[in-house]
Amino acid sequence: MTYLKRSPWIIHYDASSCNGCDIEVLACLTPMYDVERFGIVNTGNPKHADIFVVTGSINEQNREVVKNIYEQMPDPKVVVAVGICAASGGVFRECYNVSGGIDKIIPVDVYVPGCAARPESIIDGIVKSLSILEEKRTKMNSPAAKKDTQSGGIQ
């Protein structure tokens, strides 16, 4: 019996997003979509979180922050990149200060497309990430994985 899939707590970080995706992430918490139905809680604390939800692209300002938040999360953990900017940089891809999607820095498990991503697809992405989370947990508990210091992302 596993409880991980029934109680995913998320931390949401806005990495240079235009706020479009962030508003859609917050919309998931409203009575209309109510993600707490699935036990999803927006924790705001990386040390309590299982799922890292990032919106926007990587630039020089947030490179260290994204890495830091990811490293502070206890295993098993997954990363969900929400919106096209988080996936590839989107329309800001060619900007002088943008280095690209979140996967430039940390391993991303699920990409949620859209500009801005719809709440339905964000929920879908998070629910999809749950099976990856479960997979990582099994891997984490297997004796072979104990030697690995850094658990690589499953792409």
- Judged by CB under 8 A, which stretch of 30-38, 57-65, 95-103, 112-120 contacts another protein? 30-38
User: Could you tell me which of 118, 105, 115 has the C-alpha nearest to residue 58?
Assistant: 105
* Angle between helix 20-27 and helix 119-141 axes, rounded to 10 deg: 80
Q: Select the residue interacting with another protein from 65, 68, 74, 97 (CB under 8 A).
A: 74
Distance CA 51, CA 95 (A): 28
User: Count of residues binding another protein (CB under 8 A)?
Assistant: 26
Q: Which residue has the tokens 């040390």?
A: 47
Q: Which residue has the tokens 């993600």?
A: 35
Q: Does 34 bind another protein (CB under 8 A)?
A: yes
Residue with smaller CB distance to another protein, 76 or 83 = 76
Which residues of the shown chain bind another protein in the complex (CB under 8 A)?
Answer: 1-4, 6-7, 29, 31, 34, 36-39, 42-45, 47-48, 50, 72, 74-76, 137, 140
